[in-house]
Amino acid sequence: MNRKLWAALFLAGLAAPFLIYPVFVMQLLCFALFACAFNLLIGYTGLLSFGHAAFFGGAAYVTGYLVKNAGLTPELGVIVGTLAAGLMGYIFGILTIRRQGIYFAMITLALAQVIYFIALKAPFTGGEDGLQDVPRGMFLGLVDLGHTYHVAGKPLELNLYYFVFIIFCIGFWIIHRAIHSPFGQILKAIRENEPRAISLGYKVERLKLLAFVISASLAGTAGATKSLVFQLASLTDVSWHTSGEVVLMTLLGGLGTVLGPVVGAFTVVALQAELSAFGSWVTVVIGVTFVVCVLSFRRGFVGEVLEKIRTRPPGQND
Amino acid sequence: MTVAMSAEYILETRDLTKDFSGFTAVSEVNLKVRKGSIHALIGPNGAGKTTVFNLLTKFLIPSSGSILFKGKDITREKPADVALRGIIRSFQISAVFPKLSPFENVRIALQRRLGTCYHFWKPVSSLDILTERAFELLDSVGLKELAHHHTEELAYGQKRALEIATTLALDPELMLLDEPTQGMGAEDVGKITELVRKVAQNRTILMVEHNLKVVASLADRITVLQRGSILAEGEYDEVSRNPQVMEAYMGSVHA
Ligand SMILES: Nc1ncnc2c1ncn2[C@@H]1O[C@H](COP(=O)(O)OP(=O)(O)O)[C@@H](O)[C@H]1O
Ligand SMILES: [Mg+2]
């Protein structure tokens, strides 16, 4: 049943640009990957980072800058952006990983604000305007990602779309594998009972640090990809709003579930798009939606569905 | 001479002391645990028994004094390092991983020996080689049938048994049990007593225990702690005849 679900989702991903405006789907995929990366930390390790925009936006700037000014091909741009976010994650990690709960959240937020400040003030980031006109470039130097096809009169950026879709699939697969790996098992144990994990001889800080670096790297992948899709790295990408949004997406969809963050990201991005006509009321509507959802489905959308399945037949799970 | 001493005693503390901002919870404790024995640490509530455990496993840093494991000073080591040396503890409040199944609980412990805890690229099926051993361990504590149930839904006694199985999975040289029978009915107490006796075959056990019947039937040696200091030490008969002990501890239990 699981296999069929994955196959159906994969096919839906392949068909999506013919059914929905491709740039919008690409935006969904970028934020979904971002939320999945975030979920590895909060859902499977129990760490609430409030600074993940630093990795998402930081990588967007690095990739945008290098593709625009150093002529990097898009795939190299995304790889370098990912590595840069991983390095930032490592630095954030060593500074915060010993802290617990709210202190961890506050320090990650403070560090992310430092990155925001750099993005605002540094000479190469374009200040308030951000980095604009990032070229989409030639994939492997061969395929023009900027090319637009015309199918039944509709303009479709199919090259770029499948580039983004493949990145999403790889990123999602890495997260899925990490969750279902020997490492992922220990992460769950730490989330469940940290002192017990320590008393069994696990070096909890190092394990958490690795989780943090993986999460930051893939958040970076998402941000780097986004900078190619929108041809823009902006202050919004590194702002605390974005850090908050990813928390919201993950909680809405169901923290600690594999598909929850994807569903949550789709919900939030779709709501923002649908409601954009209402201007600043969007925030209010999303806020209210969030409160209602959290009150009525505490486990998030996917979490509630899984709980229904779980509680029906007793015994064997997963 | 000193060599013979450290071979005989697997664990020694020297003037072990812990202050909590002015309040001395553990005061100059000199504890010697003989290799291969079951050693009980008893004493009234608040005597400092759990604090001693926290000091031994480095969950708390001693204010002064030192701890020797197999003749080696481990006073400055970290909790995970102490565990890697072969000292594994259980907790007074049951320490299981509630959302993992009993099978996964035990497998978490078995996984440590495999050394793949950082391998995020391997599938979970790479742990299948541990399945057989995990079931053996669950069987030894009578939880085989419940291997894939929800741990949080197990009965209290079953959770304690699972905790012991998890601890045993690491085959520790020294096992520290903090009140393993606390809050249990007579039947479960009997089961746990037998289990501890069985697992003590080829290892050393230091246990905190309130139930004196359990202590009498299991312990080779007993240390009585009162207000952070050692009040008496010896075999059960010896200790239970000590008038100070009778007054401070046993008196209050039997009266
Ligand atoms: N972390 C702590 N901070 C302050 N006081 C503590 C702490 N842990 C234990 N104590 C105090 O130390 C004393 C001994 O506690 P404990 O070791 O738990 O006793 P026991 O396990 O023998 O019942 C108690 O008075 C307790 O309040
Ligand atoms: Mg205690």
ipTM of the complex: 0.87
Q: Please choose from B18, B20, B59 the residue to mutate so as to test ligand 1's pocket, defined by most ligand atoms within 8 A of CB.
A: B20
User: CA nearest A97: which of A15, A203, A26, A1?
Assistant: A203
CB within 8 Å: A200 and B117 = no
Residue B63 to chain A, least CA–CA distance (Å): 21
pLDDT in 10s for each residue of chain A, 318 residues: 588 889 999 999 998 888 888 999 999 999 999 999 999 999 988 899 999 999 999 999 999 999 999 989 999 999 999 999 999 999 999 999 988 888 999 999 999 999 999 999 988 888 888 889 888 887 887 888 888 888 878 888 889 999 999 999 999 999 999 999 999 999 999 999 999 999 999 999 999 999 999 999 999 999 999 999 999 999 999 999 899 999 989 988 888 888 999 999 998 888 888 877 777 777 777 778 777 877 777 788 888 888 888 776 554 444
Q: Is the CB of B224 under 6 A from ligand 1?
A: no
The three-state secondary structure class of A130 is coil
Range of weakest confidence among A75-89, A290-304, B97-111, B198-212: A290-304
The CATH number fitting domain B2-250, selected from 3.30.300.20, 3.40.50.300, 3.40.50.720, 3.90.470.20: 3.40.50.300
Residue A298, pLDDT score: 75
**CA B12 to CA B34: how far, in whole Å?**
9
Chain A CB contacts of B117 under 8 Å are 182-183, 186, 202, 207
Residue B2, pLDDT score: 45
Long-range CB pairs of B21-25, under 8 A, 24+ apart, other chains included: B24/B228, B25/B51, B25/B228
**CA A40 to CA A274: how far, in whole Å?**
29
CB of B175 closer than 8 Å to CB of B204: yes
Name the β-bridge partners of B32: B12
Range of weakest confidence among A168-182, B78-92, B97-111: B78-92
Residue A265 to chain B, least CA–CA distance (Å): 24
Each domain of chain B, given as residue ranges in start order, spans 2-250
Is residue B140 over pLDDT 80? yes
User: Which alpha helices (H) appear in chain A, and where do they start and end?
Assistant: 2-19, 22-45, 53-69, 74-96, 101-121, 158-179, 182-192, 194-199, 204-229, 235-238, 240-253, 260-274, 281-296, 300-311
The three-state secondary structure class of A24 is helix
| A-proximal residues of B, 157-176, CB under 8 Å | 166, 170
pTM score: 0.88
A-chain residue closest to B94, CA distance: A196
**CA B172 to CA A263: how far, in whole Å?**
45
Length of chain A: 318
Confidence of residue B42 (pLDDT cuts 50, 70, 90): very high
Which sign does the torsion angle of CA B82, B83, B86, B90 carry? positive
Protein residue with least CA distance to atom 8, ligand 1: B51
CB of B38 closer than 8 Å to CB of B167: no
Q: Tell me the three-class secondary structure of B137-161, residue by residue.
A: HHHHCCCHHHCCCCHHHCCHHHHHH
Q: Is the CB of B20 under 6 A from ligand 1?
A: yes
Say which of B83, B99, B117 has its CB closest to residue A183.
B117
Which residues fall within 8 angstroms of residue B1, CB to CB, at 6 or more apart?
none
Residue A110, pLDDT score: 94
**CA B253 to CA B211: how far, in whole Å?**
10
Element (H, E) at B50: helix B49-56
Residue A145, pLDDT score: 84
**CA B38 to CA B45: how far, in whole Å?**
21
| B126 shares contact with chain A (CB less than 8 Å) | yes
Which letter does DSSP use for residue A276 in this model?
Answer: G
CB within 8 Å: A195 and B108 = no
| B-proximal residues of A, 298-317, CB under 8 Å | 315-317
| B99 shares contact with chain A (CB less than 8 Å) | yes
The whole-number average pLDDT for the span B98-120 is 94
Give B77 or B202, the one with higher predicted confidence.
B77
